[in-house]
Structure 1
Amino acid sequence: MKRSFTALLRLLLIIGCLGFGKSFAQTTVWVVRHAEKDVSDPKNADPPLSDAGTQRAKDLDTYLADQRVAAIYSTKYKRTQATGAPLAARAGLTIISYDPKDPGALAKEVVAAFRGKSVLVVGHSNTVLELVEAFGGKRPVKALSDEDYDYLFKVTVADNGEVKTASVQYGAKHRDVPVTGTTNR
């Protein structure tokens, strides 16, 4: 009996060493639209955040404070940069610019460079859902309107190919946002 137990323990140790019990790393990508922009000058193509937007950027920092964000990606515009700025300042990060016209390249870069970590990507109303899809997620909502500033999308990419998406509301809300979650692949 003792010999059988010892043999079983050895077998389990060998299986463990072969990696059968290996867990998969998960990369968490937070995708958000920039916060409310200042619309007082309709001719300004690159407006800063409004007061409400500045507060929302602070709310985003608060919401993600315990997520150990390792990198922040943003387009080159003032409003996207300013949305990630409070989190960047607190975490000691430099915001990395990306080309919103190539979400696939961004997704490959993020997953390769930040495997197993959390990353924030700040985009625009017409790009954030495409970003979710570029990371392999399903759109948690059909579309974003010009008033939708309070969605935060979480895309979890596991090494085994499993992708989960969810949407949450953060900061001041202007309507009820259902919390959703889906698993893809």
Structure 2
Amino acid sequence: MRLSRPFVLLLAVAVAACAGSPPRAQPATRFVLVRHAEKAAGDDPPLTAAGEQRAARLAALLRATPPDAIYATGYRRTRQTAQALADAFARPVLAYDAREDAAAFAARLRAAHAGTTVVIVGHSNTVPSLAAALCGCPVTPIDESDYGRLLRITLAADGAARLEDARY
């Protein structure tokens, strides 16, 4: 069988193009962790008006990097904080157990959401330990009166982690 000259040239160009292209880099995985917004008093309280405003600010802040997944514990205050994001980005709020071991939950999150952006709404006593488990770095505790802390963790494809501790 004899191949035509144009076909051979096209084949050679295609092979050269494939051989010369660099491998596609795995996108970074991003986790955004926040404590629920300001809450009212009582058992399983809802957000206050200030808390609703803070939840709306969080959604506005994340507009440039929309989350692919949103997690919240089963408590009303975390669900309401996450719902502002869910409404803004048309994503469901996925439930997680606040009592789950932070290392186990972090491993599940890394495996399930590689290369995506994930927001996790938790509590003052759960967010720091989960952040530490995700990045493998020390994280300062969250004071019970602090509702405006935002932890961003970026995991590069090579496993390197970067933690940014910000306010919103």
Shared fold (TM-score greater than 0.5)? yes
Which whole-Å deviations, capped at 9, do the CAs of 1:41-61 have from their partners, x for residues lacking one? xxx220000111111000110
Give the corresponding residue for 2:35: 33
Letter paired with 2:89: A
| 8 Å contact kept, 1:71–1:119 | yes
Give the corresponding residue for 1:6: none
For structure 2, list consecutive stretches of 5 or more residues without a partner in the other structure: 1-14
Q: SS where residue 37 of structure 1 aligns? A: coil
Match of 2:44 among 34, 46, 50: 46
Letter paired with 1:23: A
Alignment of 1:138-149 (within 5 A): 138-140=137-139, 142-149=140-147
- Please state if 1:67 is matched with 2:69: no
| 8 Å contact kept, 2:56–2:84 | yes
Name the larger-Rg structure: 2
Alignment of 1:1-185 (within 5 A): 14=19, 16=21, 19=23, 22-39=24-41, 44-101=42-99, 102-140=101-139, 142-170=140-168
Q: Distance in 1 between matches of 2:138 and 2:86?
A: 27
Deviation at 1:14, TM superposition (A): 4.1
| 8 Å contact kept, 1:154–1:166 | yes
Q: Distance in 2 between matches of 1:86 and 1:137?
A: 29
Which whole-Å deviations, capped at 9, do the CAs of 1:79-127 have from their partners, x for residues lacking one? 0001111110121111111122222232222222221110100010011
Q: Distance in 2 between matches of 1:144 and 1:162?
A: 24
Q: Which runs of 4+ in 1 moved over 6 A?
A: 10-13
| 8 Å contact kept, 1:65–1:87 | no
User: Normalising by the residue count of structure 1, what TM-score does the alignment of the two structures yield?
Assistant: 0.75
Cα-Cα RMSD: 2.0
Q: SS where residue 132 of structure 1 aligns? A: helix
Q: SS where residue 120 of structure 2 aligns? A: strand
Q: Distance in 2 between matches of 1:139 and 1:59?
A: 27
Q: Distance in 2 between matches of 1:136 and 1:148?
A: 22
- Higher relative contact order, chain-length normalized (CA < 8 Å, sep 6+): 2
Q: Distance in 1 between matches of 2:128 and 2:56?
A: 22
Letter paired with 1:61: A
User: Normalising by the residue count of structure 2, what TM-score does the alignment of the two structures yield?
Assistant: 0.83
Q: Distance in 1 between matches of 2:150 and 2:67?
A: 14
